[in-house]
Amino acid sequence: MLPKTPGPYTTESVDDYLKAILELRHSEQERVTSNDLAHRLGIRAASVTGMLQKLAAQKPPFVKYKKHHGVRLTATGERRALEVLRHHRLLERFLHDFLDYSWDEVHDEAERLEHFISERFEDRIAAKLGDPETDPHGHPIPERGGALPDREEELLSEWVSGVPAVISSVSDRDPSALRELTQLGLKPGVAVTVDRTTGQASLRVRIGARRDSVRLNRTLASGISVIGAPAGRTRPGAVALPRA
C-alpha cells in the first residue's frame, strides 16, 4: 500500500497538478515547463505559475519550482501524485472490467472519483481485480509500495518502417481517438508494422500478418506507444506484453 502523504492539505486542483507533473516528466530529475502543464490542464500559463508558487511554499513543499526553469516534484509531492495515479488507473480498470464502461469512457469518470476513494477501498478494488499491472489503455499502475514500473516505449509515429512492434499503450486523452482505434482494431498487445510513411501527414500500418495496411494520421499515431515485438510474434491479435 502507498504510504499516506504527510504534511499539507490537498485539494482536487492540487492533485491534478501533481499528477500532471508526474505524467509529463521523462525522469525524476526532469523539470516540467509551465506551458506543458497549462496545455495538459487546459488553463492559462499565468494561472499555472501562481499555483506552482503555492505548491512550492507548502510546508513541506510539494514541488521545487523556479520561474522560467520549470518544476519537479519533491518526495512529498511524488508520494501524493503516485497515490492519485494509482487510484485513477485502478478505477479505470474496475470501471472497464466490472461495470462495462468502454475504454473511451473510463478516463473522465476516474478523474472525478480518484480524489475521494479511501486506501481501504483502493486495496479492495486491487484485490478484486487481481492486482492488475496496467489500466485499459496499457499504462502501468503504480505498485502498492509507490514504485511506477518503467517501460522503454516509442511513439508509433516515430517507429522505424518495416520493424515489427507491439502496441504497449495508447493516450487516454481523446475519447474520439479511442473510438477510432477500436474500429481499426488497434489496442495494447496488438502487433503492428509501419509499412511506410506518406509525407508529413500520415503513415500506413499493417496489423499483425495482414497484407493490407491502414492509413493513420500523424495525430492519431502520436497517441500510440509501442515496444519491439518478441521474435516470431507477428500474427494478428493480442500479444502478451513483457512485464513492465
Which domains, ranges and CATH numbers included, belong to the chain?
1-150 (1.10.10.10), 154-228 (2.30.30.90)
Q: Is the dihedral of CA 103, 173, 134, 160 positive or negative?
A: positive
Cα of first residue to Cα of last residue in the chain, in angstroms, is: 19
pLDDT of the residue at 220: 94
Beta bridge partners of 74: none
3-class SS of residue 167: strand
* pLDDT value at 28 more than 90: no
Are 168 and 225 a contacting pair, CB within 8 Å? yes
Task: Give pLDDT tens digits for 87-118.
Answer: 999 999 999 999 999 999 999 999 999 999 99
pTM (predicted TM-score) = 0.85
pLDDT tens by residue, 203-213: 999 998 788 88
Kind of pairing between the strands at 63-66 and 202-207: unpaired
- Which residue would you say has higher pLDDT here, 23 or 231? 23
CA-wise closest residue to 143 among 86, 87, 91? 86
* CB burial string 5-23: b at 16+ within 10 A, e below: beebebeeebbbbbbbbbe
List phi, psi (to 5°) of 241.
-75, 145
Tell me the Cα Rg of the chain: 19
> Which pLDDT does position 152 carry in this prediction?
87
Residue 197's pLDDT band (boundaries 50, 70, 90)?
A: low
d(CA 13, CA 132): 27
